[in-house]
Amino acid sequence: MPNTRRQPSGDKTPECVDDAFLKSYAERPTDVSLSDRRVDHVTSCNYCLGRLLQFRATRPARASLSFRYAAVAALGLACLLVGFVVANAWNRNHPAVVQVRSAEIHRTLDLSQYGTYRGDQPPSNPPLHLPAALVNLELVLPRLSQPGAYSIMVASDKNGLNRVACATGTAVGGDPRTVVTVSLDLRSATPGKYILSTQLQGEDAPYTYPLQIE
């Protein structure tokens, strides 16, 4: 049965987690599973979330880590430039494919106010909406979601047995806005109720959200 979210509060309560957990989570967020009940509390408590962000902001800078980030950024820029040149040449030779991509409908779904639930969502969460079309989907993940490779799937049930579309993408950014962008072909879907699921690579189960295809 899914966890229920508590009402946010600006004051510390007996249910608040201790500073030792918040410091550890700020330093090594990937070591803590999103299914940990303490994580669910932090996402719904203004006091604990504020303390977590304070600990993240005061982490000491590491020169070696900064150097690696700079090197990765420089390499990424070089790859983008090469990719831009190659893409232009490819597009000139494949105009039909470019036309199909231009037919994609861009949509953004914001899950930042949704809880991190596995299984059915509480009735208070309204369904998400997508058209039965070729969709370029920008998905804003729930707060405290980790960047990385995600599998995004649309199915008629939460077990994913009747899959309509599936795609993988890399989530970028950080709290409170971690975003993954994928292309979903929903043209074969009949209007109705579906399930949208997101699963971070390495997690043992997906998170599911109600979806209405129109």
pLDDT, residue 24, reads 84
- Among 16, 67, 72, smallest CA distance to 45 is for 16
Helix, strand, or coil (residue 151): strand
Specify the amino acid at residue 210.
P
Q: Based on the number of CB atoms within 10 Å of its own CB, is 163 exposed (0-12), middle (13-18) or buried (19 or more)?
A: middle
Hey, what are 94's tokens? 């494949």
Q: What pLDDT, on a 0 to 100 scale, did the predictor assign at position 131?
A: 94
Cα 136 from Cα 78, distance rounded (Å): 25
pLDDT at residue 151, as a whole number: 93
pTM: 0.50
Secondary element (H or E) of residue 76: helix 63-93
Q: What is the pLDDT of residue 70?
A: 65
Calculated CA dihedral for residues 142, 144, 148, 154, nearest 10 degrees? -20
Structure tokens at 134: 């070729």
**pLDDT score at 137:** 94
Q: The tokens of 177 are what?
A: 């806005």
pLDDT tens column, 120-154: 555 567 789 999 999 999 999 988 888 999 999 99
Q: What is the model's pLDDT at position 118?
A: 53
**Helix 95-102 / helix 63-93 crossing angle, nearest 10 deg:** 120
Backbone angles phi, psi at 94, to 5 degrees: -135, 65
Query: Which pLDDT value is given to residue 187?
Result: 93
pLDDT lower than 70: segments of the chain: 1-9, 59-71, 90-91, 93-102, 115-124, 160
